[in-house]
Structure 1
Amino acid sequence: MRDFLIQALDKLVGVFVVILAIMVVLGALTAMFSGMGPMGGGFFGGLLFLLFGGLWVVLIGGGMYLGLGIYHNTRRMAEVMERRTAS
Structure 2
Amino acid sequence: MRDFFIRGYEIVLTLVIVAAAVGVAVAAIGAMIGPISLGAEVAPLQGPYAAAAILLGGWLAVLVIGGALYLGLGIYHNTQRTADALELLITLRR
- What TM-score bracket applies, with the shorter chain setting the length? over 0.9
Structure with the larger helix share: 1
Match of 2:6 in 1: 6
Give the corresponding residue for 1:50. 55
Greater Cα shift, 32-41 or 60-69: 32-41
Other-structure match for 1:36: 36
Higher strand share: 2
Name the CA distance, whole Å, in 1 between partners of 2:30 and 2:77: 39
Instruction: Report how far residue 6 of structure 1 moved.
Output: 0.3
* Deviations 1:39-85 (CA, angstroms, capped at 9, x unpaired): 25321011111011111110011011100000000000000000101
SS of the residue aligned with 2:36?
A: coil
Partner SS state of residue 23, structure 2: helix
Letter of the aligned partner of 2:76 in structure 1? Y
Answering whether residue 80 of structure 2 is matched by residue 75 of structure 1, we say: yes
Q: Quick one: distance in 2 between partners of 1:5 and 1:40?
A: 43
- % same residue: 38
Q: Which residue does 1:26 correspond to in 2?
A: 26
5+ residue gaps, structure 1: none
Runs of 4 or more above 4 Å deviation: none
- Number of residue pairs the alignment of both structures matches: 87
1:6 is aligned with what amino acid?
I
Highest Rg: 1 or 2?
A: 2
TM-score by length of 2: 0.87
Cα distance in 1 between the residues matched to 2:73 and 2:19: 19
Q: Which moved more, 1:35-44 or 1:16-25?
A: 35-44
